[in-house]
Each structure stands twice: as C-alpha cells, then as structure tokens.
Chain A
Amino acid sequence: MSTTLDLHSHSEASEDSRAPLEAYLNWLKLRSTERPVDGIVLTEHRQFNQNADYRALEDKFGMLVLKASEVETDYGHVLVFGVTEEMTRRFDFANVRLPAQEVIDEIARMGGAAIPCHPGRPNVGLCEHYTKKPPLENVIAVEVLNGGSRKGEDERSEALVQQYGYRAIGGSDSHLVSLIGLCATRFDAEIRTTEDLVRELRGGAYEPVDFRPRRKPVPQAIAVEVK
C-alpha cells in the first residue's frame, strides 16, 4: 500500500502563516480528487513542538498529521524529519545560521533525516550556495517540487538532482489553506508514524508528485494608458 504525503507545510504556528491545521485537513477532504494525499507533515519555521498532539484531528478527517521542522542553515533552508529532544538540545532551531553539514550529519546520527528544501530558490536554496562553497556531503534527498516555486526554481532543483544524484521529494510549502497538497511525495510503503517516514526517506522508494493545476494561458493584455 503506497502513501502520499505533503512533506512541507506551515500552520498558524509559523509566524508567516494564518492557516489553521483543521482548515488544511478540511480543504484536503474537499479537494481529495485533485489532491489525493493521505496526510501532511507540519514543518513550522525554526521550531518544534514536542507536545503538540493532533490525534483528534487525524481521527476526525481520516488523515495522517506528522510533525517536523524547517530550519535555516548556512546552505539555505532544511527540513528536519524525526525530530527528537536530543536534536533540539543539540541544535538551537531558532538560529538562522545553523551549520548545514553538522545538521545533516548529526540529525542522521540521531535517527532523523535532514533534507534541503527549495534548493532552486535564490538566497535560501542549495543551488546558489553551491556556486560559492563546496557541495554538502551525505545529502540523501532534496525537495525538487515546491508549491511556492517561482519560474525556473523547480527546474534548477531538478538539475541539481541530476548533477549530484540526490533523491527527490515534493511538498506544497503552503502558508495558505487553499494551497495545501499542491505538491507531495508518493512512497511505495505504508507510512503511519514519523519513524515510518524517516525510515522510508532514508532507504525506501519514493517520488515527488505534482498536483498543481495546469495554468491556462493568459490572453495578451491590451495596455490602456491613463492620460
């Protein structure tokens, strides 16, 4: 049984999002035909809430809700899956200049998975940093499909994957309710827990999936100048 998860989303716990988790799940239920995901992973910016418990909402909507974090490093933003108390003691998740190589190596050693996100994005993505610094070691995957990507960003991420042989994931990076589930990752295996997710990210079979609607061409606009 396969599992499709949106691996990158921000609820109102992130300072730049106003999306309540319940509204996300309700939206996915409404749009289940266009965005057939089995669950989401909340990746709040620079934080991790060890105590948050979403089981009631999981039961209400029949969807999986897992927790992770998006941290900021000297090589751009990185999604950390399988966060433990040991990790939050080892790294100050609020630090916007975490050492990326240490994050990747130490998170793996402590049983998690650290995956650079939106690598094709200027300033906060891996591609730009690779033009100035040596490539990171032990990268298992990068986020190739990001629902918030601008023109060319996903293509740069894909080129990075081709060049370095990384594996690829997808996530919506949603900060608005209606944008949840636009990109996701399809795993061959069934995933029910964070441990399942980390195990599959590290050694399982998966691929990014794109549920963004194909855009209709915008008619050529006629400029009407104000005199």
Chain B
Amino acid sequence: MAENKSDLTFESVKIGDPLGPSEFHLSKDQVRAYARTTGMWVPRFTDDEAARKEGLPGMITPGNMSLAILSKLVTDWIGASGAQLTRMGTTYRQPVLPDHAITLQGFVTDKNESNHTAEMDIWLENEDGERLVIGTATVHFPR
C-alpha cells in the first residue's frame, strides 16, 4: 500500500488497498448550504417538516451532494500524485439523512496495465453500517 499520497503511483497501488475509512458528521446546515449554492432549494433538502409531508423520514441529502462527498474520498486518496478520477458510477440505495455520522470507505479492486488505471469500490454508510450509496470509480495514473 502506498504510504504517502505524493508517493502514490500506478506501480505502488495494490488490489485490496483501502480508501478511508473517513468518518464525519453531516449537518443539516451543510446540506442546506449545498442546496442553496446549487440552486436546489426545495423542501425535501431544507426542512424536516416539509420533507415528512412528502413521506420522507426528514430532510435528505441531495444525490449530487452524496456523489460529491464520495468523489472527495477518491480525490483525497489521489492527493498530489497527479492521477485523475476519470469515472464514477453510483447507486442510491437509501436516503442519506443529515445530522448523522457518515463513513466513507472503498477498496482498490482491479488494475489495468494497458490503460494505467485502477478500479475501486466506494460507498457511504451510516452509523448502523448500512451502505446508503454504493459505487465504483476509475482512476488514471500518468505514465
């Protein structure tokens, strides 16, 4: 496993290397700030009561914000290595509720010598270990 982000190279990356885990608290105000900034100021992302009227358990995190949070897991892993996140695909299994602890995690699952890329699984889970958003990403390393 590459010990230092600046040391991360295609050759140093091994199948099984972890990304994270990274834990943090996602606050309602952070979600509101994202909704305001991205022009998504709709009740389900900003107000518990209004979200409940839509049948949701409370205000939820926009899918794009979950995607952005997960992309940071990958870009933090890439660091200053010069590698690039070239693809991400995600599946939303359950709403991500703010005001909870979130854990981001992933693993390198494959390497492609000809493309100089690494494939990785990534996911976002809650305090109960439920994987709310799962996905895969591809990172390209410079030759």
Which residues of A approach B to under 8 Å, CB–CB? 16, 18-20, 23, 26-27, 30-31, 148, 150-151, 175-179, 215, 218-219, 221-227
Contacts and interface: CB of A to CB of B under 8 A. Distances in A.
Contacts of A219: 23, 101
A177 B109 contact: yes
B107 A218 contact: no
Given A176-B123, A218-B101, A224-B27, A26 B15 contact: yes
Secondary structure type dominating chain A contacts: loop
Given A150-B130, A178-B107, A218-B23, 15 more contacts: A23-B110, A23-B119, A26-B15, A27-B109, A148-B131, A150-B94, A176-B123, A215-B129, A218-B127, A219-B101, A221-B24, A221-B25, A223-B99, A224-B25, A225-B29
A23 B110 CA distance: 7
A151 B134 contact: no
B126 to A, nearest CB: 9
B119 to A, nearest CB: 8
A151 B128 CA distance: 7
Nearest to B99: A223
Contacts, number: 66
Interface of B: 15-16, 23-25, 27-30, 33, 89, 91, 93-94, 99-101, 103, 106-107, 109-110, 119, 121, 123, 127-131, 134, 136
Nearest to A213: B129
8 contacts: A16-B91, A18-B136, A30-B15, A175-B134, A176-B123, A177-B119, A178-B107, A225-B27
A221 B101 contact: yes
A177 B110 contact: yes
Contacts of B130: 150-151
B121 A177 contact: yes
A20 B110 contact: yes
